[in-house]
Amino acid sequence: MIQFFKDLYLSRNFFIALVVIILLFLLAYIIPAILFIPKLLLLAFTLIFFIDLVILFNVNKGIEASRVIADKLSMGDENPIALRLKSYYNFPCKVEVIDEVPIQFQVRDTQFETTLQPLEQHRINYSLRPVKRGEYVFKFINVYVNGRFNLAKRRFRFEADRKLPVYPSIIQMKKFELMAFITNNQELGIKKMRRIGQSSEFEQIKEYIPGNDIRLINWKATARKNQLMINQYEDEKSQHIYNFIDKGRLMRSPFNDMTLLDYAINASLVLSNIVIKKQDKVGLLSFNHKVDEFLKPDNRSKQLKSILEILYNQKTNFLESNFSKTYTFVRRNIKRRSLLILYTNFNSINGLNRQMSYLRMINKFHLLLVVFFKNTSLENMSYEKAKDLEDVYVNTIAEKFSYEKRQIVKELNKNGIQTILTAPEDLTINTINKYLELKSRGMI
């Protein structure tokens, strides 16, 4: 009986009808001759309401609902979610579905309405975009079924407290893996790099395809086959690639609800997967005031899982990054020349100069690629037309910051250090392109 009252809800029509009957009773005190009308309506209302209750609660399993979702959610991506419904009622019923999503999303639009035919199966699709790593708890799926006469509702509840972890972007990892191995993929963002020099091993002779480098044509094989043939070379393998992730205070800067650290983490996972597919070895290092995590490079399948678990637990703090300790650690623990991809951020040329000596020393023994971020909001401000003196001041400051970023790129390049200055949303694709470029040029 207690459960009956917990699951019973009164509809808006119930209260409207009740108010009408009460008003008629009040009117009957003024005009006694019409007293029979509200009495008759009250009797009919009570009977219909009772019929609604019987129809709704006479079936033990009136509705079946379940949530279809991946075991892991992908940070920064739209994760598809489906609610599957099935009706066991013998009449068309209007249902209202409320999915209790994790509080981290702070959304109020996971409420849906539909009509289910007898024994019909229905699917409701929507998506959620988590912007922080961690554990998310999905609570109940609440389904409210209207009675035949829309006076009462019965509530059904399903799947309480389902915990799901939000990992770095697994969706991006799978998408870019496919893109990186498609031949004609320039429209997707991956650039086809022209091979410079021969730092790779001869693999085979194959037919010429428009777009191949004509310098690789094998004229002897062409004469024998009476068609153009080219030499195909295989990229060097087992090269060492490290993702260096700076977790200092500047990486806490937000962009589109995510921190720069989160963008760096997503890019590191995607790039690590492509590096392994290219049969190079990938490692990982994260640091702030000291080196926190260090994973030696490997290209076995379990390496990606290890990287994923490490990245899942990375957090930043308000401390200044210590490049001196990082350089010392690199000299002691990374003996073989490697490509070190450093995800960091510099807001001023002075900030760069404080770390430049350590970056130069690292680049002396390894190939260092410094990846840092544009402030796209400020850049957009600098292009806006000034309407008053305040706008002139804002535009000037915004242009100053943009100029500082460009000067940082020039200073790094002047010291022989490879750079990427990118908007956060373009970080992954730009990093992949740079890795493929450096590899094709034989610089690693």
For residue 45, give the CATH number of its domain: 2.60.40.10
174 with 158, same domain: the answer is no
The CA dihedral of 159, 160, 165, 169, to the nearest 10 degrees, is 50
380 with 416, same domain: the answer is yes
| DSSP conformation class of 192 | P
Q: Which residues partner with 373 through β-bridges?
A: 422
- Please name the amino acid found at residue 385: K
At 191 the pLDDT is 55
223 with 304, same domain: the answer is no
314 with 385, same domain: the answer is yes
At 297 the pLDDT is 95
Quickly tell me which residue has 């937000």 as its tokens.
254
Number of domains within the chain: 3
189 with 40, same domain: the answer is no
For residue 197, pLDDT beyond 70: no
Using pLDDT thresholds of 50, 70 and 90, give the confidence band for residue 39. Answer: confident
Q: In Å, how far are 183, 238, 257 from 276, measured between CA atoms?
A: 18, 9, 30
DSSP string covering 281-347 = EEEEEEESSSEEEEEEEE-SHHHHHHHHHHHHT----SSPP-HHHHHHHHHHH--S--EEEEE---S
Q: Are 381 and 395 in contact (CB under 8 A)?
A: yes
Name the residue with higher pLDDT: 319 or 120. 120
For residue 398, pLDDT beyond 90: no
Residues spanned by the domain of 208:
201-234
175 with 112, same domain: the answer is no
Using pLDDT thresholds of 50, 70 and 90, give the confidence band for residue 397. Answer: confident
184 with 162, same domain: the answer is no
At 211 the pLDDT is 65
For residue 202, pLDDT beyond 60: no
At 195 the pLDDT is 45
Assign residue 283 the CATH number of its domain.
Answer: 3.40.50.410
At 35 the pLDDT is 84
> Within a 13 Å sphere around the CA of 205, how many CA atoms are in the beta-carbon half?
12
- The average pLDDT across 29-57 equals 88
At 121 the pLDDT is 92
Of 167, 183, 212, the domain-final residue: 167
189 with 281, same domain: the answer is yes
For residue 128, pLDDT beyond 90: yes
214 with 246, same domain: the answer is no
For the chain, the average pLDDT equals 86
At 183 the pLDDT is 45
83 with 121, same domain: the answer is yes
For residue 79, pLDDT beyond 90: yes
Of 167, 183, 213, the domain-final residue: 167
357-386: per-residue pLDDT in tens?
A: 999 999 999 999 999 998 877 666 666 676
359 with 322, same domain: the answer is yes
pTM of the model: 0.79
222 with 271, same domain: the answer is no
Q: Which of 2-6, 35-39, 82-86, 204-208 has the highest mean pLDDT?
A: 82-86
